[in-house]
Amino acid sequence: MSNNRAVVLLSGGLDSATVLAMAKDRGFECHALSFDYGQRHLAEIEASDRIAEAFGVSHKTLKLDLRSIGGSALTDEHIAVPETPTEGIPVTYVPARNTVFLSLALGYAEVLDADHIFIGVNAVDYSGYPDCRPAFIDAFERMANLATKAGVEGHRLTIETPIISLSKAQIIAEGLKLGVDYSLTVSCYQADAQGRACGRCDSCRLRREGFMAAGVADPTRYQA
């Protein structure tokens, strides 16, 4: 028997806000978890606060110094965020980030006795980021069930990826149906201190194309 308690990874972006809405809609008691991991800007942490508050769910932000590991444009100021599409794995890839975030969510789930972890990975990222592939999620889930008390005591922990096979436009349509206010979210890799998007990075491009494909107005606040 699995319970209805869930840890929901919340980055402050469009995808994870939608995932939180979907988890709530499915009746889960949601506990949002965010990370202050040394990302370039705090705008996304502030966004996650606003989103959790809008949904009225508990929210914890865990400090974690990924900057000391480096290796990504998102945690190392000396590596520039690309503003044109690139081949292969992008420099914005943070080494093992989803593995690290899911592992910490696993620890939190164990403390809360939650049998579900929601994460907003999606197929659009698949080609670029290895840790967004369905095979990775399956392998993580299998490992997680061996890693924890739950595995020993006969619970079953599941990693829920409700948007893994949705396009950006489908994600947005789903979120709007569930009342997500996307003006609260920040997706940009280099947002300014006010949370305004650059409009040029990969993440901005995917997001803007998503709103266009969904046929709805883009509520994103862009830098002048």
Q: Output the CA–CA distances (angstroms, integers) from residue 29 to 105, 118, 148, in the order listed.
A: 15, 12, 21
Nearer to a second copy, 51 or 66 (CB): 66
Tokens of 72: 């990504």
| Residue the block writes with tokens 């420099």 | 91
Nearer to a second copy, 131 or 218 (CB): 131
> Measured between alpha carbons, how far is 171 from 185 in angstroms, rounded to an integer?
14
Asked if 151 interacts with a second copy (CB under 8 A), we say yes
Under a CB-based contact definition with an 8 Å cutoff, are residues 131 and 89 in contact?
Answer: no
Asked if 58 interacts with a second copy (CB under 8 A), we say no
Interface residue with a second copy among 54, 79, 91, 96 (CB under 8 A) is 96
> Measured between alpha carbons, how far is 132 from 164 in angstroms, rounded to an integer?
8
3-state secondary structure at position 150: helix
Under a CB-based contact definition with an 8 Å cutoff, are residues 179 and 51 in contact?
Answer: no
Specify the stretch interacting with a second copy by CB under 8 A; choose among 14-22, 92-100, 172-180, 184-192.
92-100
Nearer to a second copy, 98 or 187 (CB): 98
In whole angstroms, the minimum distance from the beta carbon of 149 to a second copy comes to: 5
In whole angstroms, the minimum distance from the beta carbon of 183 to a second copy comes to: 29
Asked if 149 interacts with a second copy (CB under 8 A), we say yes
Interaction with a second copy in 120-139: which residues (CB under 8 A)? 130-131, 133, 135-136, 139
Asked if 69 interacts with a second copy (CB under 8 A), we say yes
> Measured between alpha carbons, how far is 128 from 87 in angstroms, rounded to an integer?
8
Specify the stretch interacting with a second copy by CB under 8 A; choose among 17-25, 87-95, 161-169, 196-204.
87-95
From the list 205, 116, 207, the residue with the least C-alpha distance to 162 is 116
Interface residue with a second copy among 42, 58, 89, 223 (CB under 8 A) is 89
Nearer to a second copy, 61 or 170 (CB): 61
3-state secondary structure at position 191: coil
3-state secondary structure at position 32: strand
| Residue the block writes with tokens 């201190």 | 193
Interface residue with a second copy among 41, 97, 196, 221 (CB under 8 A) is 97
Nearer to a second copy, 110 or 209 (CB): 110
3-state secondary structure at position 92: coil
Q: Which residues bind a second copy (CB under 8 A)?
A: 60, 62-66, 68-71, 89, 93-100, 102-104, 106-108, 110-111, 130-131, 133, 135-136, 139-140, 142-144, 146-149, 151-152
